[in-house]
Amino acid sequence: MRLHIVARGKIGRGPEQQLVERYVQRIKWDVQLSELPEQGGKTPKLSDQTKIIALDETGENWTSKAFATRLNGWRDNGIRETRFLIGAADGLSAEERGSADHFFSFGKATWPHLMARAMLAEQLFRATAIIANHPYHREG
């Protein structure tokens, strides 16, 4: 299954970009990163087997284990791509919100959209590590 992060705005060269790269390189699954302008621009074409997860402060707050369980279940049920939408500073458009199958949150706090990319990349690595029984994730 492809993990596709679609984010508004340019991350540029900085510590956030380095964190995203660090975690994406560790993920053993197919990962794609797409950047869109702050406003406008269309998300890349969807296949019929795509699950869309919008990152939003009003979304569900899944544990890392629950996140991994969802990804694994979608993969096992034939989902070919899980697409994660990250809005710009003003959030997601109404169209993007309307396309979402689920809303996911990193908590009630508002996070800068550049940090959200790094946090998502880490959680994707963590989830795939959990699925592979890799010792990266520790509960306790």
Residue 55 φ/ψ region, left for φ over 0, alpha for ψ in the -120 to 50 degree band, beta for the rest = beta
- pTM as predicted: 0.92
The tens digit of pLDDT for each residue in 43-94 reads 777 888 999 999 998 899 999 999 999 999 999 999 999 999 999 888 888 9
Domain, as residue range, for 57:
2-131
Residue 80 forms part of a structural domain: yes
Residue 139 forms part of a structural domain: no
How many domains is the chain partitioned into structurally?
1
Residue 69 forms part of a structural domain: yes
The tens digit of pLDDT for each residue in 20-49 reads 999 999 999 999 999 998 888 777 778 889
Residue 136 forms part of a structural domain: no
Q: Which of 79, 60, 4, 13 is nearest to 36 (CA)?
A: 4
- Please tell me the distance from the alpha carbon of residue 82 to that of residue 70, in angstroms, as a whole number: 10
Q: Residue written as tokens 């998502």? A: 120
Residue 101 forms part of a structural domain: yes
The CATH number of the domain holding residue 55 is 3.40.1280.10
